Amino acid sequence: MKTVIIFNTINRPEMVKTTMVNNILNAGTSDIEICVTNNGGPDATIRAIRFLKEKVPPRKVHAFFNPENVGNSASLNQMLKFIDENIPDVGYIAKLDDDIELKPGWLSEAKKKFNQMRKLSMLPGLCGFNWGNLKKDREPFNTKIQCYTPARVFGSWVFPFEIFKKLGYFVELSKYGLWDSEFNNRLLTSGFVNFYLEGYDSNHIGADAGTHSDYRHMKNEELKKASRLYEKIITIRPSRIDWDKRKFWEK
């Protein structure tokens, strides 16, 4: 069963042409399809996506274009809906970020770990690739699978498609922020084990926390909006988010 890589991009054309092309080619398997959305980016981003499509055959690329930034989780949800309705035999989803460099073999090794966990009667959840946020002196290390298993995993993910079928879509709290925390929460309460793949730490080359760009200011403001709604949704504790129930920020 194939893996479908999904990722958003706005205005990082060089990272699409380098980081994302390398991540795809170095996945350790070619049984992949790609869904990428230009989420309101300029013409340079469109050209970068065309470049990516030329570099990754025989892997099929589905490209989508939003005329403006509809939000990170909203755009990812659009791709998940397309996958669910149009791509057969999906086994895994890889939610990647265009500014995170992954080590060669990241996908094939993640799938091996999922199989190991199933043999141990564990429910594999989000497989992450630590980009510096994991506090190894504070988080549990599971000796059975030789991986850190914190409550929440952030950054780029691989997860079984059956999780989407069971738990549904990402919540849309604002254009940016905390939808990933909420998705982690749903997995934990449903018995899935989230983990960082040991030996496959990634490199976050696009960190902009503390900077003063317009894009960073937008993210800060949207994060404030998401924070207010996040406090409400964790009291609701939904077990599943269906397509018509995903937009919390319009209520």
Note the pLDDT tens digit of each residue in 125-184: 999 999 988 999 999 999 999 999 999 999 999 999 999 999 999 999 998 889 999 999
Q: Does pTM surpass 0.85?
A: yes
Question: Residue 89: inside a domain, yes or no?
Answer: yes
Q: Please give the residue range of the domain that contains residue 160.
A: 2-170+183-204
DSSP string, 13-82: HHHIIIIIHHHHHTSS---EEEEEEEES--HHHHHHHHHHHHHSTTSEEEEEEESS---HHHHHHHHHHH
| pLDDT tens sequence across 6-58 | 999 999 999 999 999 999 999 999 999 999 999 999 999 999 999 999 999 99
Number of domains in the chain: 1
| pLDDT tens sequence across 180-233 | 999 999 999 999 999 999 999 999 996 655 555 666 677 778 878 888 889 888
Question: Residue 178: inside a domain, yes or no?
Answer: no
Identify whether the C-beta of residue 172 lies closer than 8 Å to the C-beta of residue 229. no
Question: Residue 141: inside a domain, yes or no?
Answer: yes
Question: Residue 39: inside a domain, yes or no?
Answer: yes
Question: Residue 220: inside a domain, yes or no?
Answer: no
Question: Residue 123: inside a domain, yes or no?
Answer: yes
The CATH number of residue 117's host domain is 3.90.550.10
- What residues pair up with 66 in beta bridges, in sequence order? 39
Q: Are strands 193-196 and 124-128 parallel, antiparallel or unpaired?
A: parallel
Q: State residue 212's pLDDT score.
A: 54
Q: State residue 216's pLDDT score.
A: 63
Q: Which two tokens stand for residue 136?
A: 């190894």
Note the Cα 135 to chain centre separation in Å.
20
3-state secondary structure of 191: coil
Question: Residue 250: inside a domain, yes or no?
Answer: no
Higher-scoring residue by pLDDT: 227, 100: 100
Q: State residue 251's pLDDT score.
A: 44
Question: Residue 121: inside a domain, yes or no?
Answer: yes
Q: State residue 221's pLDDT score.
A: 85
